[in-house]
Amino acid sequence: MQLNLIQIILVLIIAFLAGMEGILDQFHFHQPVIACTLIGLVTNNLMPCLILGGTLEMIALGWANIGAAVAPDAALASVASAIILVLGGQGRAGISSAIAIAVPLAVAGLLLTILVRTLATGIVHIMDAAAKEGNFKKIDFWQIVAICMQGLRIAIPAGLILIIGPKPVKEFLGLMPSWLTDGLSIGGGLVVAVGYAMVINMMASREVWPFFAIGFVLATIQDLTLIGLGAIGLSLALLYLALSNNNNGNSDDHGGGHANIGDPVGDIIDDY
């Protein structure tokens, strides 16, 4: 299928917004169900792209940035697979192929994410220097530049796919050696472990560890849905707050304030 100039511009705008939203998380343009649907809407392929987005959304539910862990790039996977589906012209018949391409693209997108975030580190130092000078216009300018870099991270690959077509992309992904794809997967798993360790290190306390263990045990029960787990988590949080308040009320604190129960977050909240 050939796209006209207006459709190409609209697709690139959607790709740019999806890249920015991967960091901002305000309007969720990077979510597959939204990005794919918008691309399908502007290219007159709404239904196939909507099905593709919904399917990818179910896959991407387990992708989350936790601590230092960087999840696979859902924005690149959504935009690229939707463009390939549209250019392929197969309609619903091409959805399975687009999904098969989306996951390797999401993993490969980690390289672009790492590159952009490395460049953004230098921008942070520039903004620090501007803050010392009290130059707020310069800070705003470099903040916009950093966000636009995130948008270009998705818009540039999207433009390349529109130029070269879907077939070379499939061939390129097929040429990627197994040691590279396996290495990316293993490295991503290690980074996830490091991210969990950092989060646990920040929130660990005597009072939180039992709830942490209960959460892992409940997660092994296959009949529990996400809504059920959320309800249990909310109930445990309310019980924790009730017990903490009860402990504070019965404390022998001479100042009439709260007692330090070993939970840094709880103590800070009580101070306020």
- Asked if 92 and 170 sit in the same domain, the reply is yes
Q: Is residue 184 a part of any domain in this protein? A: no
- Asked if 173 and 216 sit in the same domain, the reply is no
86 and 1 Cβ atoms separated by less than 8 Å: yes
Q: Is residue 34 a part of any domain in this protein? A: yes
Task: Tell me if residue 155 falls in helix, strand or coil.
Answer: helix
- CA distances to 17, 35, 249 from 22, rounded to whole Å, are 9, 11, 44
86 and 122 Cβ atoms separated by less than 8 Å: no
- What pLDDT is attached to residue 256? 46
Q: Is residue 197 a part of any domain in this protein? A: no
Q: Is residue 219 a part of any domain in this protein? A: yes
Average pLDDT along the chain: 79
75 and 30 Cβ atoms separated by less than 8 Å: yes
- Asked if 148 and 208 sit in the same domain, the reply is no
- What pLDDT is attached to residue 86? 87
- 170: how many CB neighbours lie within 10 A of its CB? 15
Q: Is residue 186 a part of any domain in this protein? A: no
What is the span of the domain harbouring residue 19? 5-178
- Asked if 215 and 173 sit in the same domain, the reply is no
- Asked if 162 and 218 sit in the same domain, the reply is no
Closest CA to 104 of 160, 175, 33, 22: 175
- Asked if 162 and 61 sit in the same domain, the reply is yes
- What pLDDT is attached to residue 110? 77
- Asked if 227 and 93 sit in the same domain, the reply is no
Structural domain total, the chain: 2
Among the candidates 139, 162, 178, a domain finishes at 178
Distance from C-alpha of 30 to C-alpha of 19, rounded to nearest angstrom = 7
- Asked if 174 and 249 sit in the same domain, the reply is no
pTM assigned to the model:
0.62
How many C-alpha atoms does 76 have within 13 Å on its Cβ side? 23
- Asked if 67 and 111 sit in the same domain, the reply is yes
Low-confidence residues in the chain, pLDDT < 50:
253-259
Q: Is residue 185 a part of any domain in this protein? A: no
Q: Is residue 187 a part of any domain in this protein? A: no
- Asked if 108 and 224 sit in the same domain, the reply is no
- What pLDDT is attached to residue 39? 94
- Asked if 14 and 121 sit in the same domain, the reply is yes
Closest CA to 240 of 202, 216, 214: 214
Among the candidates 129, 163, 178, a domain finishes at 178
- What pLDDT is attached to residue 107? 74
11 and 162 Cβ atoms separated by less than 8 Å: yes
Among the candidates 126, 161, 178, a domain finishes at 178
- What pLDDT is attached to residue 185? 58
142 and 123 Cβ atoms separated by less than 8 Å: yes
- Asked if 33 and 126 sit in the same domain, the reply is yes
- What pLDDT is attached to residue 181? 61
